[in-house]
Amino acid sequence: MAGSTTAPTGLSPVMVLILKRLGIGALLILAISALLFIGVEALPGDFAQNFLGQSATPEAVANIREELGLDRPVIVRYLEWLGGVLTGDFGQSWANNASVNEQLGKRLANTLFLAAVAAIVAVPLSILLGMLAVLFRDKLPDRLINILSLIAISMPEFFVGYLFIFFFALQFGIGDGPPIIPNWSDGFFANLQMVFLPAMTLVVVVIAHMMRMTRAAIINLFESAFIETAELKGLPMFRIIWKHAAPNAVAPIINVVALNLAYLVVGVVVVEVIFAYPGMGQYFVDAVTVRDMPVVQACGIVFAGVYIVLNMMADVGSILANPRLRHPK
Amino acid sequence: MVELFKSMPFSAKFGVIGCGIFLFCAVFAGLIAPYGEREIVGDVWEPASGAFWLGTDNLGRDMLSRLIYGAQTTIAVALAASILSFSIGMLLSFTAAVVGGWTDQVLSRVNDMLLAIPTLIFALVVLAALPQNIFILIGVMAIIDQTRVYRLGRAVAVDVVVQDFVEAARLRGEGWGWIIFKEILPNVLTPLIAEFGLRFAFAVLFLSTLSFLGLGIQPPAADWGGMVKDNKDGIIFLVPAALYPGAAIAILAVCVNMVVDWMLNRTSSLKGGRG
Amino acid sequence: MSDTLLDVRGLKIGATIFPPGEDPKDIEIVKGVSFTLEKGKVLGLIGESGAGKSTIGLASLAYGRGQVRITGGEVFLGGEDILKYRPSGIRSLRGRRVTYVAQSAAAAFNPAHKLGEQVIEATLRHGIMPRSQAMERAKHLFKILGLPNPETFGDRFPHQVSGGQLQRAMTAMALCPQPDLIVFDEPTTALDVTTQIDVLAAIKRAIEETGVAAIYITHDLAVVAQISDDIMVLRHGNTIEYGDVKQMIEAPREQYTKELLSIRSDIKPEAEDQSGALLRLNRIDAAYGAGLQVLFDVTMHLPKGQTLAVVGESGSGKSTTARVITGLLPPSKGEVLFKGEPLPPALKGRSKEQLRQIQMIYQMADTAMNPRQTVAEIIGRPLSFYFGMGGSEKAKRVSELLDQIEMGTGFADRYPAELSGGQKQRVCIARSLAAKPELILCDEPTSALDPLVAEGILKLLMDLQRETNVSYLFITHDIATVREISDSIAVMYKGRVVRFGPKSKVLAPPFDDYTDLLLKSVPEMELGWLERALASRKMEAAGN
């Protein structure tokens, strides 16, 4: 059995698993691009009609269809669009004929900055809170954390955002209210200070879900028989946590983080609108409002793509963290 | 019923009472609201007073009355969307779990694909392509949300389908109808009801977010997310009008979540007696 | 008395349980148990589930699982009451003076670390010996325990070795710090019978060579007889009988112990005429999916009113054989003949009448009944489904069936969760009887039950066979059960029937190698069996 698990290519089984996972991810992005382009087109309603509004004359609609190239078959347009996307060209906005790329580049950086700040605070904090809840399981701190996180998952992002603006920015003078426009020539820390409130809003939204799931994952872990074995070896608590629980906690916690990235992606869209922050989210919402399809599709595929890539990375991480997969039979 | 209520912990009681109050407001909005939904009764953003308990909004309409009517719209639309999503999700997931084979494969893979797109992103793309209309809105919310129902429904049903008592029913020669309704459904009812609560809470939040972004329910109809959008510019002038509907959404979601939490805790002890 | 290592006096252990929909309540698991253990001796704790034996074992490490806590009594180890120790004292006790071997070593090893590191961890942490010396000791123990490649065995991860090997590695882990006492908690229960004998022998040899004292917990009196010096029989948290092994096996005083000893001794005489065939399997091949063939050329038959025992270990294909007969897994080759007629291979193709004639009883009665249906509904469904019965006619038949399984009508309105394990299995039997079947497939119906309860179920099945002339195809891994109930036997190994015929022929020499191994691996209730069995085996058990 020992030799047979190694693939003929000489790759280790873990590599094969990881490559498979990456392949599936790439396939998924492709499928979703098709769904966002062709599937959306198949829906009732007409882009040109929607774009111009219900009162537009049939001639105007026909004109614009031709102008935008909507009279050609959808498959042809999809393949053209896909070709463009793969070479980094997202086409032109219908609304102002500007290049989508230019806007996308600038705004993606802003969005990633905001999301990264939020993630860097939220991930360690929620893991810490999750562990704290487990440590004081069924005692006051656990119940308090439970109730607070339940309230936090029940609050819409915009409510949290306006609460922060109303109380912190306006009443106490902590942090800035909208509009928040980062300026990279001001230096990193000036920008960091500027995004304080939007980032905190995101943190509140993400942390609640992440903390609850971390708690469940850790409780599950501590009920494993091998933790009992460690206790019965007379090991001190610190060693049990560090040596026996932690190595096995990595994979489930990576999974929890990955699952909750969805809240970050959705949250960032809303938070950008609240704080009038010039990122992808606001660009996206504005384009949806005026039905500027090239921009909508570009933003859609970028958001979905980023989310899938992050998930894929998490999957690879948890494969690498799993001793059963890392040390095959 | 009374005994069940008495046996609940404080948080669940709070949740049940809260849900009851919101439901009451939604059903009898016309009777209890002091002013009309679209009636302009005062100045823009008047502060709270004896006449207007929560002040007036950006057009001078009574905030409290709008909140009560908003409960009607928000709850009705969210409920419709969650019932629809639940029905679709359950039907598909049970079919997949019981029939198995290719049906299961195809449904599950398509579902996986939809799950890979964050909900709001998907909704925004689809809503950009569709005419603005409340039924379309409900439909889109339901289609997106059914993916979550499907995932849970299938997991729960697959769990039950592999039990020996279902195999025993198949060996007896029972039809699919008996197996689904008599053998499986009674065993998965509690987690499913809890899931329905979660879906409803999610639908309220999701609808409000869409309305807040200007893509959900269109003015002048009162709905909570839209009211936040209408009044958000007042925040800068320290007018808290936008915070009330936000708080209403949060409180309703908290109440539903508290009831669901209690139900889920109860299920674990109910299922199968031991083990 | 200077040789006394462990002295337990009036030990009481309680727990808080949380019954659904009721207030939490305190129950007593162990109700005042006393015993002493001398250095280098082995005490066997035996009893059915819920007897409190594991709880007592863990109490000698001053440990209670979950909600369990020690409420009274004293546990003296080397003269000191360990229940009075502070946390630091307890830590220096566990893993140093007392160690533990769990039932499932697969779950008890940390998947993230190498076996060797885990085996020596307690030894190093308690500063018993330097690392190099601990490593040497681990290798030495691996060797005593008969593990393959003792030099490199410690470099492997837990998931890379088999269940039997893990169980031995856990024994090495318990022995490594040179403790005074090891608690073995059902260390061979989860293993196949041919693996169990090797692990048992390895444990016994290791105990003898290291001179450690041990508490050996099991539900199997025959196992404990091979390894213990003293035996304590427990039931519902009370001591039933306590004495040395020879007295307990050869001259038990208490009725309960006598019953445990006489289990499976009531052997049914086999039917003389075994020529007819109600059921005949004709050269069956079967596979899961495309590549995984699990049955190869399986042929056997079962005459009407008789019992065919299909015996084998996990992976032998015995349960798959039942799935083929029921039509859940259509065979890829061969046919199933019932009353001389071929049965449609798939469940879908069979008529209601064909389905009615073959019924099934499962291993886990718990999951075989819908928890949301009452006993009357469960038993009543075949009556209305097959015979269109309803109303008072159905109710009357249900109560007849309840009488037949010796439970009575009082149980009609109960839910499965309110029944004991044995009662649940009885209800399942009643459900299959309700269909008035010709054949009942019994898939290990007694293996999840305590010995005496299982005995009751077997007796009931035999009585019902005499009354109704029903035939049984009885799947089991337990040779003693096979001896007791069968007329004919099919021995299966790796998907093939290696031996088939009347009981008297199958169980008499000359044996094929596998049947020999299987028969010799079944613990017998006599002293010295283990050594004799090991000496006379023709074939080594593989893959353990």
CB contact under 8 A, C367 and B164: yes
* Interacting residues of A109 by C-beta distance below 8 A, sequence separation 6+: none
Is C110 within 8 Å of A327 when comparing Cβ atoms? no
- pLDDT of the residue at B162: 84
Chain B closest CA to C320's CA: distance in Å? 14
A224 lies within 8 A of chain C by CB: yes
What's the pLDDT band for C540 if we cut at 50, 70, 90?
Answer: low
CB contact under 8 A, C362 and B164: yes
Mutate to test the interface with B, among C370, C373, C420, C436 (most CBs of B within 10 A): C370
Q: CA–CA separation, C252 vs C536, rounded Å?
A: 29
Do C145 and C172 contact (CB within 8 A), yes or no? yes
Q: Which two tokens stand for residue B119?
A: 């909900």
Output the CA–CA distances (angstroms, integers) from residue C463 to C268, C408, C451, C456, in the order listed.
11, 17, 18, 11
What pLDDT, on the 0 to 100 scale, is given for residue C289? 74
For the record, the structure tokens of C214 come out as 């041990």
Task: Compare CB distances from A43 to B126, B225, B235 and report the shortest one's residue.
Answer: B126
Contact C281, C325 (CB under 8 A): yes
C159/A247 CB distance under 8 A: no
| Interface residue C91 vs chain A (CB under 8 A) | yes
The yes-or-no verdict on residue C89 having pLDDT over 70 is: yes
Partners of residue C296 on adjacent β-strands? none
Q: How far is A134 from chain C (nearest CA, A)?
A: 15
Which of B171, B271, B272 is opposite residue C360, by nearest beta carbon?
Answer: B171
- Could you tell me if C288 and C323 are in contact, meaning their C-beta atoms sit under 8 angstroms apart? no
Contact assignment for A226 to C104 by CB distance below 8 Å: no
- Partner-chain residue, chosen from A226, A229, A234, that has the shortest CB–CB distance to C93: A234
Residue A61: the pLDDT is 80
Q: Which residues of A touch C92 (CB under 8 A)?
A: 234
Cβ distance B170 to C347 less than 8 Å, yes or no, reads yes
Inter-chain contacts counted by CB atoms under 8 A, chains A and B:
152
Contact (CB<8Å) A225/C159: no
Residue with tokens 């890539």: A309
B123 contact residues in A (CB cutoff 8 A): none
| Residues of A with Cβ-Cβ distance to C162 under 8 angstroms | none
Q: How far is C250 from chain A (nearest CA, A)?
A: 36
Helix (H, G, I), strand (E, B) or coil at B62: strand
From chain A, pick out residues whose CB is under 8 angstroms from the CB of C97: none
Asked if A230 has any chain C CB less than 8 Å from its own CB, the reply is yes
Place of tokens 């790796």: C494
Q: What local confidence, expressed as pLDDT, does residue C423 receive?
A: 93
Q: Which chains border A (3 or more CB–CB pairs < 8 Å)?
A: B, C
Dist. CA C55–CA C319, nearest whole Å? 34
Quick one: pLDDT at residue C539? 65
- Rounded to 5°, the CA angle C170-C176-C180 comes to 105
In chain A, residues with a C-beta closer than 8 Å to the C-beta of B228 are: 158-159, 162
**Across C311-326, average pLDDT:** 91
Q: Which pLDDT tens digit goes with each residue over A177-196?
A: 888 888 888 888 888 888 99
Question: C110 contacts in A (CB within 8 Å)?
Answer: 226, 229-230, 244, 247-248
CA distance B88 to chain C (A): 25
pLDDT at residue number A4: 41
User: What pLDDT, on a 0 to 100 scale, did the predictor assign at position C219?
Assistant: 87
B258 to chain A: which residues are within 8 Å by CB? 150
Copy the structure tokens of residue C108.
């008890």
Say if residue C243's pLDDT is above 50.
Answer: yes
Partner-chain contact B118 A265, CB within 8 Å: yes
Q: What is the pLDDT of residue A3?
A: 38
| Number of helices (H), then strands (E), in chain B | 12, 0
pLDDT of the residue at C541: 57
In DSSP terms, C77 is beta-bridged to C6, C80
**Chain C residues close to A247, C-beta within 8 Å:** 110, 112-113
Q: Which member of C92, C111, C160 has the closest CB to residue A234?
A: C92
Q: Which residues of B touch A40 (CB under 8 A)?
A: 125-126, 128-129
Long-range CB contact pairs, B231-234, < 8 A, 24+: B231/B45, B231/B57, B231/B58, B232/A158, B232/A162, B232/A274, B233/B58, B234/B45, B234/B58
> Which ranges of C469-528 does DSSP label H, i.e. alpha helix?
479-485, 503-506, 513-521
Give the closest of C95, C112, C159 to A234, CB-based.
Answer: C95
Of C18, C21, C382, the CB nearest to B172: C382
pLDDT of the residue at A9 = 55
Q: Which residues of B are less than 8 Å from A208 in CB distance? A: none
From the CA of A321, how many Å to the nearest CA of chain C? 9
- Counting one residue from chain A and one from chain C, the pairs whose CB atoms sit within 8 A come to 72
Share of chain C above pLDDT 70, in %: 97
Tokens standing for A83? 């070709």
User: Does C20 contact B270 at a Cβ distance shorter than 8 Å?
Assistant: yes
Decide if B272 and C364 are in contact by the 8 Å CB cutoff. Answer: no
Asked if C417 lies within 8 A of B272 by C-beta distance, the reply is yes
Check CB contact under 8 Å for C113 and A324: no
Cβ of A73 under 8 Å from any chain C Cβ?
no
Per-residue pLDDT reduced to its tens digit, C142-155: 998 889 899 999 99
The subunits that touch chain B, with at least 3 C-beta pairs less than 8 Å apart, are A, C
Alpha-carbon distance values, C520 to C476, C513, C537, C538 (Å): 17, 11, 7, 10
CB contacts < 8 A, B to C, total: 61
Nearest to residue A277, comparing CAs of A108, A157, A132? A108
> Which of C358, C364, C370 minimises the CB distance to B183?
C370
Determine the length of chain C. Answer: 544
pLDDT under 50 in chain B at which residues? 269-275
pLDDT in tens, chain A (329 residues): 333 444 445 677 788 888 988 999 899 999 999 888 887 777 766 777 777 776 778 888 888 777 777 778 888 888 988 998 888 888 888 888 888 888 888 899 999 999 999 999 999 999 899 888 888 887 888 888 888 988 998 999 999 999 999 999 888 888 888 888 888 888 888 888 889 999 999 999 899 888 888 888 888 888 889 999 999 999 998 899 889 988 888 888 888 888 888 788 889 999 999 999 999 999 999 999 888 888 998 999 999 998 888 888 888 888 888 877 777 76
Assess B101–C contact: CB distance below 8 Å, yes or no: no
Contacts of B126 in chain A (CB under 8 A): 40, 43
Question: Residue C65: closest CA among chain A residues belongs to which residue?
Answer: A228
* Chain A neighbors of B198, CB-CB under 8 A: none
C420, C471, C418, C476: which is closest to C445 by C-alpha?
C476
Rounded Cα gap, residues A203 and A88, in angstroms: 31
Nearest chain C residue to A249 by CA distance is: C112
CB-nearest to C371 from B172, B187, B269 is B187
What is the number of H-type helices and E-type strands within chain A?
16, 0
Q: ipTM of this model? A: 0.88
